[in-house]
Amino acid sequence: MHYLATGESTGGQYGLYRWDMGAEPGRGAGAHFHRTMSESFFVLSGTVALYDGDRWVDASPGDFLFVPPGGIHAFDNPRGAASMLVLFAPGAPREAYFEELAEIVESGRRLSEQEWTDLYHRHDQYMV
């Protein structure tokens, strides 16, 4: 995850990030929604599977998906390396969420189902 424009740097208007997924499939996020922010995806390279709450679509460079607050969505990299822009509006402090996830992965720490739920809820993410 690369921070391009954080909510802090945009006065809370939006947060813009580049998510680079490696060659190993399964580097996305399962079905979830956010109560207070929209999320948009713009594919830069590779194939990104995007879920809009109804169906999965293989998105190619230049494809875009807007998800309003409360909209169920998910994404994955089914065919290997892919990159996309992710925009949150308003600019919620997503950096703490991304950093917490990175720490969990890097440390190999295993969270209980309740710990995952607590982490998600602290960051306005509700798994479906």
Report residue 50's pLDDT band, with 50, 70 and 90 as the boundaries.
Answer: very high
Q: With beta carbons less than 8 A apart as the criterion, state whether 17 and 7 touch.
A: no
pLDDT at 93: 82
- Report the percent of the chain where pLDDT is more than 90: 88
pLDDT at 92: 83
Q: What phi and psi values does residue 13 have, to the nearest 5 degrees?
A: -70, -45
The pLDDT tens digits for 22-48 are 998 887 899 999 999 999 999 999 999
pLDDT at 110: 95
Mean pLDDT of 61-79: 97
Could you give the 3-state DSSP secondary structure of residue 99? Answer: helix
Average pLDDT, the chain: 95
Distance CA 111, CA 100 (A): 12
What is the 8-class DSSP label of residue 75? E
CATH code linked to domain 2-127: 2.60.120.10
- Report the percent of the chain where pLDDT is more than 70: 100
Mean pLDDT of 67-89: 96
Torsion of CA 71, 99, 45, 76, to 10 degrees: -50
Question: Considering the entire predicted model, what is its pTM?
Answer: 0.91
Give every CB contact of residue 123 below 8 A, 6+ residues apart in sequence. 92, 94, 96, 97, 100
The pLDDT tens digits for 2-18 are 999 999 999 999 999 99
